[in-house]
Amino acid sequence: MTGTNIHHAATLLKEGKVVAIPTETVYGLAGNALDEDAVLTIFEVKNRPHFDPLIIHVSSLEAICQYVEDIPKTLKVLAEKFMPGPLTLLLPKKDIIPDLVTSGSPMVAVRIPSHPLTKKLLVSLDFPLAAPSANPFGYISPTTAKHVADQLGDHIPYILDGGPCEVGLESTIVGMEDGRVTVYRKGGLEVESIQVWVDHEILVKTHSTSKPDAPGMLSVHYAPKKPLFILENETDWASKTGEKNVCFLRFSTPFEGFDLSKQRILSPQGDYHEAAHHLFAFMRELDVLPFDVIYAERLPEVGLGRAINDRLKRASVF
């Protein structure tokens, strides 16, 4: 069932059930982070491997302090600047957070979503919510309630419908290593925006094939069922126009001479935020249409272009 009843969603969560919730980034599959049975249900519904940790969601910076041992000064500055919003902090957890949530790591990923419905929901609860993206593991993340219903609707009792997600990319995950601010996952908050508030060069981590340091670091993820290839230049694009049943995912301009109905343009204005907002929705559209292959354009490596390219790379056929 889909609706906007926060009280109903809260009641189900208090009963140990899982529900889908909207955030500004993507829709999450939420359960009581302090209830191991609820957390196990999240893994089971998503078919998510237990070595891939979860993010917990709370209502305020004060609430974060209930579940972590410490917030380093630099990360606290970032929290005060960018939370609520598409920022997740990786911090040393208190024992109250089950090891199942963190896949045995002493660190927990925690964030404060800015979506108004979920903010109200979190305020009504006396526990944090573990909430990875509300989709089968490895598939394209959902940015509307319908995306969730299409794939998980038969497995969960309620989807809290907050409309299309504003950002459309998962949160940026940041922590500390050897005294340096470290980005574990590029996401809806630009690395450049974070760098402004840090007095040293930020370290950006690479992906992992197993036992990742933080959620969302696996090297293969966010993938459509159809093969997706990244094309690097206009010569490559021209060579694909003669193939049958192919479609194009482009940044700001269509490929001239190729059927426009077989193309999706992320942002005709060349706006990176608009492109991020459309990315997962357009990938899903192309995945269900009668095409055999998706060809995608790499964006310039600036701003949210970095995070979009990250998702395309991990969705692509290597």
Read off the pLDDT of residues 158-205 as tens digits, 9 standing for 90 and up.
999 999 999 999 999 999 999 999 999 999 999 999 999 999 999 998
Structure tokens at 193: 């925006």
Which H/E stretch holds residue 182?
strand 180-185
Q: Is the pLDDT of residue 209 over 70?
A: no
- What is the Cα–Cα distance from 231 to 227, expressed in whole angstroms? 13
What pLDDT does residue 229 have?
94
pTM of this prediction? Answer: 0.91
Tell me the average pLDDT of the chain: 93
Check pLDDT > 90 for residue 257: no
Pairing label, strands 2-3, 159-160:
parallel
Q: How does DSSP assign 252-265, residue by residue?
A: SSPPTTS-GGGEEE
Give the CA diameter of the chain.
60
SS3 225: coil
CA distance 19 to 12: 7
Mean pLDDT calculated for residue range 270-290? 95
**Has residue 286 got a pLDDT over 70?**
yes
Q: Is the peptide bond before 84 cis (omega within 30 degrees of 0)?
A: yes
pLDDT at 165: 97
Quickly state the pLDDT bin for 48 (edges 50, 70, 90): confident
For the chain, domain boundaries: 2-69+87-169, 228-315
pLDDT at 232: 84
* Cα first-last separation, the chain: 38
Q: How confident is the model at residue 208 (pLDDT cuts 50, 70, 90)?
A: low
- Is pLDDT at 212 greater than 80 in this prediction? no
Please give the pLDDT value at position 211: 55
Helices (H), 241-301: 272-288
User: Is there a contact between 152 and 29 (Cβ–Cβ < 8 Å)?
Assistant: yes
Listing from the earlier edge strand, what are the strands of the sheet with 180-185? 2-3, 159-160, 19-21, 28-32, 129-130, 55-57, 107-111, 87-92, 172-177, 180-185, 203-204
Choosing among 3.90.870.10, 2.30.30.110, 3.40.1710.10, 3.30.1330.60, the CATH entry for 2-69+87-169 is: 3.90.870.10
For residues 255 and 233, the answer to whether their CB atoms sit within 8 Å is no
Give the Å distances, CA to CA, from 231 to 92, 119, 159: 40, 40, 36
Question: Helix 272-288 crosses helix 305-315 at what angle (to 10 degrees)?
Answer: 20
> Do 57 and 118 form a contact (C-beta atoms < 8 A)?
yes
228-315, CATH topology level:
Rossmann fold (3.40.50)
d(C-alpha 283, C-alpha 174), whole Å: 26
Examine the pLDDT at 238 and tell me if it is beyond 90: no
For the cut 70, the answer to whether the pLDDT of residue 221 exceeds it is: no
